[in-house]
Structure 1
Amino acid sequence: MVLAHGYSYYGDLSYPQDFSHFSYVNPDAPVGGEISEYASGTFDSMNPYSRRGRAGRYSASIYESLLLIGAPFGDAAPADVDGEYYCLLCESLEYPESKEWVIFHLRPEARFSDGTPLTAHDVVFSHDLILEQGLPSYAEAVRRRVISAVALDDHTVRFDFAPGISRRTLIDQVGYQSVFSQRWYEETGARLDEPRMEISPGSGPYMLDSFEVNRRITYRRNPDYWGWDLPINQGRYNFDRVRVEYFSDDAAAFEAFKTGEYTFRAEGNSRQWATGYDFPAVQNGWVMREEIPDGNPPTPTGFIFNLGRPTLQDARVREAITLAYNFEWTNQQLQYGLMSQLYSFSQGTRLEATGVPEGAELALLESLGDLVPPELLTEPAVLAHTSSADQLIDRRNLRRASRLLAEAGWEVGDDGIRRNAAGEVLTIEFPYSTSGSATGEAIIESFLDNLQAMGINAVGQRIDPAQYTQRQRDRDYDMILDAYVAFLDTGTGLHQRYGSEAAAYSLFNPAGLASPLVDAVIDASLMAESPEDRDTALRALDRVLRHERFMVPLWYSANQWFAYWDVYRHPAEIPQFSAGVMDWWWYDTDRAAELRAAGALR
Structure 2
Amino acid sequence: MSKFYFITLLAWIGGLALPSYAEENVSIHRSHGLAMYEDLKYPADFKHFDYVNPNAPKGGLLRLSATGTFDSLNPFIIKGLSASGLSGWFFETLTSSSKDEPFSEYGLIAETIETPEDRSWVAYILRDKARFHDGSPITVEDVIFSFEILKTKGHPFYRSYYNHVTEVIKVNDNTVKFVFNTNKNRELPLIMGQLPILSKAYWEQRDFDKTTLDIPISSGPYKIAAIDPGRSITYQRNPEYWGKDLPVNLGQYNFDQIRIDYYRDETVELQAFKAGEYDFRAENSAKNWATAYDFPALTQGRVIKEDIEHQIPTGMQGFVFNTRRDVFKDPKVREAISYLFDFEWANKNLFNGAYTRTHSYFSNSDLASPSELPHEAELAILEPLRAHLPERVFTEIYQPPQTDGTGNIREQLRLAIRLLKEAGWELKNGKLLNEKGQLLQFEILLVSPLFERIVLPFKRNLARVGIEVSVRTVDTTQYQNRVDNFDFDMIVHVFSQSLSPGNEQHSYWHSENANVVGSRNLAGIQNPAIDQLVDLVIGAPNRDELMVRTHALDRVLLWGHYVLPHWHVRTFRVAYWKPLTRPEMIPPYDLAFDAWWMADK
Q: 1:466 aligns with which of 467, 473, 477?
A: 477
Match of 1:74? none
Q: 1:36 aligns with which of 63, 68, 73?
A: 63
Query: CA–CA distance in 1 between the matches of 2:51 and 2:161?
Result: 35
**For 1:500-519, what aligned pairs fall within 5 Å after superposition?**
500-505=511-516, 506-519=518-531
Instruction: Confirm or deny: 8 A CA contact 2:78 2:156 kept in the other structure.
Output: no
**For 1:495-534, what aligned pairs fall within 5 Å after superposition?**
495-505=506-516, 506-534=518-546
Instruction: Confirm or deny: 8 A CA contact 1:180 1:200 kept in the other structure.
Output: no
Match of 1:99? 119
Superposition deviation, residue 160 in structure 1: 1.1
Unaligned runs of 5+ in 2: 1-27
Aligned residues: 571
- 1:398 paired to 2:398: no
Match of 1:82? 102
- 1:51 paired to 2:68: no
- 1:150 paired to 2:169: yes
**For 1:303-314, what aligned pairs fall within 5 Å after superposition?**
303-314=319-330
**For 1:124-273, what aligned pairs fall within 5 Å after superposition?**
124-142=144-162, 144-163=163-182, 166-186=184-204, 189-273=205-289
Superposition deviation, residue 335 in structure 1: 0.9
Report Cα offsets for 1:327-371 as digits up to 9, x if no partner: 111111111111111121111321111211112112221243533
- 1:375 paired to 2:387: no
Unaligned runs of 5+ in 1: 70-77, 591-602
**For 1:418-497, what aligned pairs fall within 5 Å after superposition?**
418-433=432-447, 436=448, 438=450, 440-497=451-508
Instruction: Confirm or deny: 8 A CA contact 1:302 1:482 kept in the other structure.
Output: yes
Superposition deviation, residue 284 in structure 1: 2.0
Match of 2:425? 410
- 1:566 paired to 2:578: yes
Match of 2:142? 122
Query: CA–CA distance in 2 between the matches of 1:528 and 1:584?
Result: 33
Q: Name the SS for the 2:554 alignment partner.
A: helix
- 1:550 paired to 2:577: no
Instruction: Confirm or deny: 8 A CA contact 1:206 1:222 kept in the other structure.
Output: yes
Match of 1:358? 375
Query: CA–CA distance in 2 between the matches of 1:182 and 1:425?
Result: 55
Query: CA–CA distance in 2 between the matches of 1:248 and 1:526?
Result: 39
Instruction: Confirm or deny: 8 A CA contact 1:484 1:509 kept in the other structure.
Output: no
Query: CA–CA distance in 1 between the matches of 2:390 and 2:433?
Result: 29
TM-score, structure 1 normalization: 0.92
Superposition deviation, residue 538 in structure 1: 1.0
- Aligned-pair Cα RMSD in Å: 1.6
Query: CA–CA distance in 2 between the matches of 1:50 and 1:363?
Result: 41
Instruction: Confirm or deny: 8 A CA contact 2:30 2:115 kept in the other structure.
Output: yes
Superposition deviation, residue 95 in structure 1: 1.8
Q: Which amino acid aligns with 2:173?
A: D
Moved more, 305-314 or 350-359: 350-359
Moved more, 12-21 or 342-351: 342-351
Match of 1:587? 598
Superposition deviation, residue 494 in structure 1: 1.3
Match of 2:16? none
Instruction: Confirm or deny: 8 A CA contact 1:328 1:389 kept in the other structure.
Output: yes
Match of 1:593? none
Query: CA–CA distance in 1 between the matches of 2:328 and 2:73?
Result: 36
TM-score, structure 2 normalization: 0.92
Moved more, 167-176 or 125-134: 167-176
Query: CA–CA distance in 2 between the matches of 1:526 and 1:44?
Result: 35
Q: Which amino acid aligns with 1:184?
A: Y
Query: CA–CA distance in 1 between the matches of 2:328 and 2:158?
Result: 26
Instruction: Confirm or deny: 8 A CA contact 2:312 2:364 kept in the other structure.
Output: no
Identity over aligned residues, as a percent?
A: 37
Superposition deviation, residue 11 in structure 1: 6.3
Instruction: Confirm or deny: 8 A CA contact 2:184 2:541 kept in the other structure.
Output: no
Superposition deviation, residue 437 in structure 1: 5.2
Query: CA–CA distance in 1 between the matches of 2:568 and 2:462?
Result: 23
Q: 1:66 aligns with which of 61, 79, 94?
A: 94
Report Cα offsets for 1:549-575 as digits up to 9, x if no partner: 111111111111111112122222221
Query: CA–CA distance in 2 between the matches of 1:10 and 1:284?
Result: 47
